[in-house]
Structure 1
Amino acid sequence: MSMSLFEACEKGDSNQVKLLINEYFNVNQLDGQGRSALHYCCDNTITDCAYLLLKDDSIKDTILNLQDNEGCSALHLACMNGNEIMVKFLCEQGANVKLLDNESRSVIHWITVCGHLHLFDILIQYKAPLHTPDIHGVFPIHYASQLCDVSVNKDLKIDSEKGLAILQKFMDYRVDIDCIDEQQRTPFMWAASAGNIEELRLLYKYGANQLHVDKDSLSALHCAANHGHLSCIHMLVEHYKCPTEGQDINGCTALFYTIMHNHSNACQLLLDLKANPNHKDNRGRTPSHYAICNGNLECLKCLIKSNANIWLKNKRGDCPIHELINTLSLNKIRNQKIEYSQIFAVIRYIFQIYPNKINIQNDEHRTPLHLAASLGDIDTCQVLIECGAKINSFVRNLAVSNR
């Protein structure tokens, strides 16, 4: 078949389409993406070309619900494009509103993700299912919970008002507000991850469980902390009574996540909200271990200001400074990037405040300098010596042998 039929449909040239059909072109033929001529009509705001293609019942039976290589029917494409005229037309022609694409996404998934609020009532009128999971267990309401001010593409941004209105649709039709995806995360947790405070309010108003945890025991507060969403953190703790000491599967509270991802403002906020600066995870590590080992000076300052004890030991018997030196060695072995300027700034800051701790020993009776020398870390040794670390014959011999 000449590509001219595809081109004519794409351009909305009904005269050319009619001519080609009358010349017995094979209307059922597909392009390289597995699409029929009907797929090419889905950008058009005039239905003439689509009407001509579907006029023959035998052809209609073949192409109306035909799915391309990605599992998308013409109705899927019309929904993605927000084409109300074509969506109405295809539904009137009997298009299957329950078809799923190759990732099990429904037309409701697509109009939600693309922010096409105006298509909901049409599809619901034709009994499109509102609440089916995709291959990741994600329901349309999950996507709706994080729509505010989302850019779909360079030409389309979903504003807060429309995002909330889409979420409200799911509330109005009473879908399961605490449905879970494959990670066992609810729409409330998705909203927290996205920092969408208005969606959180709406979900909570309709009874969402703000204390739900996923398969790794992460809570909505962990999700908000992970991304440094200050307003969400404040609301979850102050108004929705989410506990600051809730632990994930590794024993980490939300405070740990602000430090891991260098959100110093969120770290300070949680500390102001009475998060425990000395909480220990399952390996006995405190927030100070995380801040120091990550070279996270700003979060470390927040912790110290909030009376964190940065000399608590983990289960191996290492203070944060000892764990830092071990971590540097491991990162070298693994060829991981090391931000030495940040690390050394942290070391200097610690011993500027606590000069008397420069020779503190771990449970193996090693000082930071002993440890750095034994690992052949000459640069760290030099910084520690600058900070006043005591050199003895043991350290000298180690330094020489590691040159």
Structure 2
Amino acid sequence: MSRIIDDIFGNKCEQVVQRVRSSANPVSPSDAQDGLFAACTLSCDVCAGAMLQAGAATEARDSEHYTPLVRAAQRGGVKVVKLLLEWDCQVNNPGGQQSNTALHMAAAEGYLDCCQVLIAAGATVNAQNAQEDTALILASLHGHLPIVRYLLQHAASIRKRGYHERTALHCAAEGGHLSLCRYLLSCNASLEEEDTFGNTPLINAAERGVTELLALLLGHGCDVNRMSHSAATALHYAAQHGAVNCCKVLLEAGAEIDAQDIRRFTPLMMSALNGHLEVVRLLLEFKGNVSMAAYNRRTALHLAAERGKRECCELLLDAGACIDAQDGLGCTPLHVALMKGQVQVMQFLIASGADMNRRPDNGNSLMHIAAIGGSEQCCSLLWKRGCDINDRNSDGNTPLYCAVKNKQVKTAKFLMEAGCDINVQGIHGMTALNEAALINHTLLLQTLLLQGADPSIPDDAGTLPLWFVVDHASQENVLLVLAAGRSFQSRSTLNPTATPTNPVELAAQKRQYQLLDWMLAVYGEEAANCLRQYLPALEQTHSESELKTLGKMVRSPQSLLRCCRLGIRRVVRGDSVSTPNVLKSLTLPQMLKSYVGLHDLVSEFKLSQSLPSGS
């Protein structure tokens, strides 16, 4: 920053003037221009005049594309504005990203004196910026009543539309400016104009929640039941935002209490959804219908339950809401509360007599739903009430499977610790472990295996958990499944475009040499023989060098040490040999125990993870 700019920001006006007058060290054109914008920002007419004398251009642009006049009007520097106009600044030149004129900026910021000077200089009163807003609209939005009066006195159009087709009255109502709205109405502003969304000023006022403003607009005869393009009325918006006094004013003015918007939501549903207890109470006092259903057949009780609004649920039940009403999927309020883990609402509804045996269309029990919702507390409470942790839904799936499928680690752990049957096969013969492998979820895989899940159970297509994780090329998950010590000999028909493959063949097919090497290390000669027999099938898809690489891996018999490891692991195959207690119980030297537990492969994996990319 140059010295003269420092002087301007330091309010050293005399030094700035002297510097301009001095011929010994003339001000550069760039410094003069920067100095003019600095003076406009600070509303310093002395420094601005000096910069103009130093050659600053009146129509230049700063980094935000403002002209000096627009910047001065934004800051309310009326003296600078007058000065610039005397230097023949173009009064209607827009600036900034929104292409506001100086009049726009002065009106938006509330500088009446600047507006007066600009209009006197020929500013176009109804000019529109990039968003089509006029100075009157901006002044109305920000509540500057004196400027609105002045603009209307100087031919500003009260019906002109701006951003999203809003009029000045829309903006004043949106801002909650009561006195300004009263003045605009006295100037014959239209009550029923609609913006882009079909909102009238009454709807904007209801959304703002200003009771006096609603009363004012209703007193001038606006339509209390006028709908937006989403079919929502002012009462919908007031109820949604919890404006109980506004709701009362609207209801007393004849608002339709059970009006339904485009989603068939009523005001009662909107207030229940957002937990506005006093609004719910008011609407019920005015006989709002608690049994009406939205587009998905959910009632106000469904919505309150889903959001955990227990007190609203209590009011709705007292008013006659059906506790077991079913939505489009057959879910009751209890079901949706469980799905969202709303413990207090769940307990309240059960205590109030909700049917614990009713199921949605997919046949999920309460335990299924709680498991999917991910609330360990809900699962625990249901278990204590006697709910079956091994129940099956319409697809034959257990709560554990559903928890895994929805990646709910906490509820999956709870169900396993509660003693659920971990190896049940459900839809398509999938176990919880198969599903965890399919979705490639490391933590769930690890937890299931440590709890005794059997990795040797294929699904109906013959697909093992190992096949899934190899298909994902997930090294960590492959190690987890390998550590469980089960056979790989099951061929999957999951891919209809390829011949059935077991995990070893799949790894060779996908060129996953690291995974293939690990499976050879774990399964020994059994895997090596499988790979040798599979090599001819790869001749059409693999290059000669790739086939040589695969051939080298099985050229010699597997080592005696690997065969010993396989033998030991087969002896203890009833348990996961990755479990520390199992390894500890083996009567073997510690080094061999580590080898049996695949610590060599784990170390190799950790080393590969720590190496820089491309190593």
Same fold (TM over 0.5): yes
CA distance in 2, matches of 1:236, 1:348: 37
User: Which one of the candidate residues 69, 81, 94 is aligned to 1:30?
Assistant: 94
Q: Which moved more, 1:357-366 or 1:185-194?
A: 357-366
Correspondent of 2:275 among 195, 211, 216? 195
Per the alignment, residue 401 of structure 2 pairs with 322
How far apart in 1 are the matches of 2:392 and 2:116? 74
Q: In the alignment, what sits opposite 1:348?
A: 416
Which residue identity does 1:272 align to in structure 2?
A
**2:147, 2:253 → 1: CA distance?**
25
Correspondent of 1:215 among 287, 291, 295: 295
CA contact (8 A) 1:221 1:254 kept: yes
Which residue does 1:158 correspond to in 2? none
Q: TM-score by structure 2 length?
A: 0.48
Secondary structure of 2:394's partner? coil
Structure 1: how far apart are the matches of 2:245 and 2:133? 26
Give the aligned residue type for 1:193: L
Pairing 1:266–2:345 present: yes
Structure 2: distance between partners of 1:8 and 1:272: 67
Match of 1:70 in 2: 131
Aligned length: 369
- Range with greater deviation from structure 2 (378-387 or 226-235): 378-387
Residue number in structure 1 paired with 2:573: none
Task: Show the counterpart of 1:153.
Answer: none
Confirm or deny that 1:4 pairs with 2:68: yes
How far the C-alpha of 1:94 sits from its partner, in A, is 5.9
Partner of 2:142: 81
Note the 1:28-67 alignment, pairs <5 A: 28-32=92-96, 33-45=98-110, 47-55=112-120, 59=123, 62-64=124-126, 66-67=127-128
Please give the residue correspondences for 1:1-400 in structure 2 after superposition, counting only pairs within 5 Å: 2=59, 3-21=67-85, 24-32=88-96, 33-45=98-110, 47-55=112-120, 59=123, 62-64=124-126, 66-90=127-151, 95-105=156-166, 110=171, 114-116=175-177, 119-126=180-187, 128=189, 135=196, 163-164=243-244, 170=250, 181-204=261-284, 209-239=289-319, 241-304=320-383, 308=387, 312-325=391-404, 327=405, 338=407, 340=409, 342-351=410-419, 362=426, 399-400=486-487
Q: Compare relative contact order (CA 8 Å, sep 6+) and give the higher one, 1 or 2.
A: 1
Structure 1 residue 214: Cα displacement = 3.5
Distance 1:103 1:31 in 2: 21
Partner amino acid, structure 2, of 1:63: V
What percentage of aligned pairs have identical amino acids? 26
Q: How much does 1:207 deviate?
A: 6.2
- Cα distance, 1:112 vs. partner? 5.6
CA distance in 2, matches of 1:187, 1:94: 41
Instruction: Please list every run of 5 or more consecutive structure 2 residues that lacks an aligned counterpart in the other structure.
Output: 1-57, 60-66, 210-240, 465-485, 489-502, 504-518, 520-615
Once residues 203 and 89 of structure 1 are traced to their aligned partners in structure 2, the CA distance between those partners, rounded to angstroms, is 43
Could you tell me which amino acid in structure 2 is paired with residue 236 of structure 1? Answer: L
Residue pair 1:146, 1:190 contacting (<8 A) in 2 also: no
What RMSD in Å do the two structures reach over aligned CA positions? 4.5
Q: Aligned-pair distance for 1:40? A: 1.0
1:292 Cα deviation from its structure 2 partner: 0.8
